Amino acid sequence: MRRGITEIRHDAATGPRGARIFPHPDRVACCVASGEARDIAIAAARRCASDAVVMTPDELLSVLRHGGPWAALIYDLGPRNGSGVTYAAGVRREHPELPILLYAPASAGVADSLLRCGALTGVRAELQGRVPAEGVERLHTLLTGLLAERPRARVLQMLRAVAPAAPPRAWAFAEQALTRLSERRGPTTCRVSSLARDLGASQRTLEREWHATALPPPKEFLDWVALLLAVVTAASTRTTVAQAAHHLRIHSRHLYRLRRRLVPGQTRIPSLLPEQECDGLLLALIERCRGIQAALRANPPSAAIA
């Protein structure tokens, strides 16, 4: 077997054989049937990750059920019975943080399928048919872009899990902030006033809408978003939080202030891994939101306004 490629065979009774192929953040799942196209996908994946795992769509679902992260999925929309779009939408719904690169053969109806999948977040598409060198370069470019978006998608998923009933404008606000930070513009460009303006609202209107949510106020919420993105990026890229923050143009002093303000206890624990810091940060945010919920129950917005 070629180095860097793992093949997986499925056992209907026990699931995928061999625990060694179970989810790993450096592995790209490759569900591509055509031999030449599969080789191109594997070569592109190996330029971004340490391993490419070849499997069928059904085998992927079985592996995903065991939990744990995957770097990305390369999928050819097979089989050709129209179910590929439904499959891709199902994977996106159940695993919103998983980047998906559609690599479909040029065939009748594929344009419509790709168009329908284009409405899904975290999905890129490319048609098979390029010569190998061009195909590898093109897929590598698309895959690199997708992998760079993964921490942002993961943070948004975490925020939604903490406060699922927050209004749509809150998520638009979070997405806009994550986009600016991911583009390495630094936290100084993420001000409540400018983000509210981008959303077609004034800062006052945004803060008034926020009053009845279980989320921290917008300015504090931005601090949580920035720190979560730095920590999740560090865990995803296997760097330190300081290195990830520097990449995002969050300077060391600002990072220290964020930690001290949001999770003061963690500033006294220097040996935390990014994954451990992420867990602690998420728990701290949950507790903060619970405190806001308790305050809202004790003093509902209508009573406060009256």
3-state SS, the chain, equals: CCCCEEECCEECCCEECCHHHCCCCCEEEEECCCHHHHHHHHHHHHCCCCEEEECCHHHHHHHHCCCCCCCEEEECCCCCCCCHHHHHHHHHHHCCCCCEEEEECCCCCHHHHHHHHCCCCCEEEEECCCCHHHHHHHHHHHHHHHHHHHHHHHHHHHHHHHCCCCCHHHHHHHHHHHHHHHCCCCHHHCCHHHHHHHCCCCHHHHHHHHCCCCCCCHHHHHHHHHHHHHHHHHHHHCCCHHHHHHHCCCCHHHHHHHHHHHCHHHHHCCCCCHHHHHHHHHHHHHHHHHHHHHHHHHCCHHHHHC
115 shares a domain with 224: no
Tell me if 158 is assigned to some domain: no
81 shares a domain with 212: no
61 shares a domain with 171: no
- Amino acid type, 163: A
What average pLDDT is seen over the chain? Answer: 81
Question: What was the pLDDT predicted at 267?
Answer: 59
Q: What region does 38 belong to: left with phi over 0, alpha with psi -120 to 50, or beta?
A: alpha
Tell me if 156 is assigned to some domain: no
What confidence category does residue 227 fall into, taking pLDDT thresholds of 50, 70 and 90?
Answer: very high
Tell me if 131 is assigned to some domain: yes
222 shares a domain with 144: no
171 shares a domain with 104: no
Tell me if 77 is assigned to some domain: yes
Question: What was the pLDDT predicted at 186?
Answer: 61
pLDDT of 23 strictly over 60: no
What confidence category does residue 3 fall into, taking pLDDT thresholds of 50, 70 and 90?
Answer: very low
Which residue did the predictor score with more confidence, 68 or 149?
A: 149
Torsion over CA of 143, 158, 173 and 216, rounded to 10 degrees? Answer: -160
Please name which of 56, 59, 27, 57 lies closest in space to residue 42, comparing C-alpha atoms: 27
169 shares a domain with 145: no
121 shares a domain with 41: yes
Question: What was the pLDDT predicted at 176?
Answer: 87
220 shares a domain with 194: yes
Question: What was the pLDDT predicted at 32?
Answer: 93
Domain boundary among 95, 124, 149: 149
What CATH number is associated with residue 117? 3.40.50.2300
Number of domains in the chain: 2
Residue tagged 């895959």 (tokens): 143
Tell me if 154 is assigned to some domain: no
Tell me if 157 is assigned to some domain: no
Q: pTM value?
A: 0.68
Domain boundary among 121, 149, 177: 149
Q: What region does 202 belong to: left with phi over 0, alpha with psi -120 to 50, or beta?
A: beta
Question: What average pLDDT does range 27-34 have in this prediction?
Answer: 90
Q: Tokens in use for 161?
A: 């899990």
231 shares a domain with 292: yes
What confidence category does residue 18 fall into, taking pLDDT thresholds of 50, 70 and 90?
Answer: very low
167 shares a domain with 68: no
124 shares a domain with 101: yes
Domain boundary among 98, 125, 149: 149
Range of the domain at 139: 5-149
145 shares a domain with 9: yes
pLDDT of 173 strictly over 50: yes
